């Protein structure tokens, strides 16, 4: 069979995103763990720059290897595949979790209960992200809450209203987490809270909840993506479990590329 040297074609570079992302850290680990990737590097920049590079490559049917994740629109927009990861650096299926500062349950039991109950499906999150492209996240989140009263009432059932108590949700700066945080904001505001959203890097997000600077976060990707931050602050925050199951991270390529596994990437 005809083989092309993918490494040479992409200049031995993985097109990455923001330096502080969990997926960036795991990709550095992949570069260490896979011998065939010695001599490769990860070029970090921003999610927007990665998506532009991906779109340009696909337009020209050129090879490209990016750090990718789902839920994300890149999979609806383009024909893409995850490369198999036999060493399990990126995990199998991820979930998005909820964490709270210690004492939140005692201080704000109503908010704690709602955040603990908050659970939705990838299709819900994708709906908010898609609608936000036509309007903005605040509007899309409000619309989702208005149209999903049955789901929201499962989160708020039996929870008392409050009178303008302030709560700060900490999030990370990607669309997935902006979607969940804005939906939580609408629901908590309906309950009477005054909600602040603070976007930060994943490491700062865990630190803020561990120190009590922030009240809660719906942004951790687990068990693998943010494992190092989770372990660093373990015991200093309360783990409320999953808010969305069926997420994934990994190395992603266009389906026209003749590689299926990270181990197929040539040294």
Binding site for ligand PBE (CB under 6 A): 17, 21-23, 69, 172, 174, 176, 202, 221, 225, 249
SS3 246: strand
In angstroms, give the least distance from the CB of 178 to ligand PBE. 10
User: Would you say 142 or 225 has its CB closer to ligand PBE?
Assistant: 225
In angstroms, give the least distance from the CB of 255 to ligand PBE. 21
Q: What span, in angstroms and rounded, lies between the C-alpha atoms of 86 and 202?
A: 26
User: Would you say 24 or 113 has its CB closer to ligand PBE?
Assistant: 24
In angstroms, give the least distance from the CB of 174 to ligand PBE. 4
Nearby residues of 30 by Cβ (< 8 Å), 6 or more positions away = 37, 85, 87, 89, 90, 251, 262
SS3 54: helix
| Signed CA dihedral, 33, 37, 43, 47: sign only | negative
List C-alpha distances in Å: 167 to 93, 110, 223, 257.
Answer: 31, 11, 26, 47
Residue 164's nearest CA partner among 191, 142, 184 is 191
User: Would you say 22 or 254 has its CB closer to ligand PBE?
Assistant: 22
User: Would you say 111 or 140 has its CB closer to ligand PBE?
Assistant: 140
In angstroms, give the least distance from the CB of 182 to ligand PBE. 15
Instruction: Give alpha helix (H) positions in the chain.
Output: 6-9, 22-33, 47-59, 74-77, 104-107, 109-117, 122-134, 137-147, 149-156, 175-190, 202-211, 227-233
In angstroms, give the least distance from the CB of 202 to ligand PBE. 5
In angstroms, give the least distance from the CB of 121 to ligand PBE. 17
Q: What span, in angstroms and rounded, lies between the C-alpha atoms of 232 and 236?
A: 9
User: Would you say 6 or 205 has its CB closer to ligand PBE?
Assistant: 205
User: Would you say 7 or 68 has its CB closer to ligand PBE?
Assistant: 68
Q: What span, in angstroms and rounded, lies between the C-alpha atoms of 237 and 235?
A: 6
């Amino acid at each position: 069979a005809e083989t092309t040297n993918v490494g040479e074609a992409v200049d031995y570079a993985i097109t990455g995103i923001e330096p502080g992302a969990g997926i960036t850290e795991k990709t550095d680990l992949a570069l260490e763990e896979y011998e065939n990737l010695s001599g490769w590097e990860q070029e970090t920049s921003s999610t927007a720059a990665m998506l532009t590079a991906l779109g340009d490559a696909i337009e020209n049917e050129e090879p490209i290897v990016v750090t990718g994740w789902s839920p994300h629109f890149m999979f609806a927009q383009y024909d893409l595949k995850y490369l198999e990861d036999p060493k399990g650096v990126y995990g199998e299926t991820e979930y998005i979790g909820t964490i709270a500062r210690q004492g939140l349950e005692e201080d704000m039991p109503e908010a704690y209960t709602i955040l603990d109950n908050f659970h939705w499906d990838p299709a819900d999150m994708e709906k908010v992200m898609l609608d936000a492209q036509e309007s903005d996240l605040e509007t899309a989140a409000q619309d989702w809450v208005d149209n999903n009263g049955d789901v929201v009432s499962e989160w708020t059932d039996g929870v008392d209203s409050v009178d303008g108590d302030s709560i700060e949700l900490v999030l990370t700066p990607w669309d997935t987490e902006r979607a969940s945080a804005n939906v939580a904001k609408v629901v908590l505001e309906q309950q009477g809270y005054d909600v602040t959203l603070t976007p930060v890097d994943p490491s700062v997000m865990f630190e803020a909840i561990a120190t009590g600077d922030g009240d809660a976060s719906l942004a951790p990707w687990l068990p693998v993506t943010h494992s190092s931050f989770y372990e660093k602050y373990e015991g200093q925050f309360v783990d409320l479990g999953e808010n969305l199951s069926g997420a994934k991270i990994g190395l992603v390529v266009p389906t026209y590329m003749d590689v299926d596994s990270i181990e197929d990437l040539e040294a």
